[in-house]
Amino acid sequence: MHPARFFHRPHFYSTHLIFARSTGLKWIIGQDPYHGPGQAHGLCFSVQEGVPIPPSLVNIFKEIERDLSITQPLSGDLTRWAQQGVLLLNATLTVRAHQAGSHQGKGWERFTDAVIRYLVQQKKNLVFMLWGSYAQQKGAVIPTDQHLVLKTVHPSPLSAYRGFIGCGHFSAANTYLLQHNQSPVNW
């Protein structure tokens, strides 16, 4: 497909550097990049500084505030999480403008499955946050006796109040990390 048909190209270089530096001990797996103007920038659920915070991310921040009493930030840029070793990986890495899920089944899933399989074999005591059925399908290859797998509904406005708000994943992740002599995340 011709690159001009894509609404927004991912910021591969910055994401690649964050991935290379990341310890990958904490994972949040999303479905596909945001598909609105200027939203996606290579980290799932994240938007660049100055871009309005999408509703799913607003709900993530609401849950962090409820769970950990941390005031919601003014920016939706989650680079600060990635710099602490949180791998913010979408199952598919591209999307057509205004068409959520448009690049599912085009090969990205095989790649992201391979990344997950490789790292769960190489490391122990990883934390995975799998929000929504699509992300939870990715968890099929994760041995739950060696890693913490936290599952709930997606944080979108359509489902957040059916289990995401109140899930306690952020405190649970930090508790697990501390129990395994790892640094907690400053969410």
Active site residues: 32
> What amino acid occupies position 82?
A
d(CA 139, CA 109) in angstroms, rounded, equals 12
Torsion 104-105-106-107 (CA) sign: positive
C-beta of residue 90 within 8 angstroms of C-beta of residue 30: yes
Q: Across the strands, what pairs with 130?
A: 29, 151
d(CA 179, CA 49) in angstroms, rounded, equals 34
d(CA 36, CA 24) in angstroms, rounded, equals 27
d(CA 103, CA 123) in angstroms, rounded, equals 30
Both structure tokens of 74: 């003014």
d(CA 93, CA 43) in angstroms, rounded, equals 9
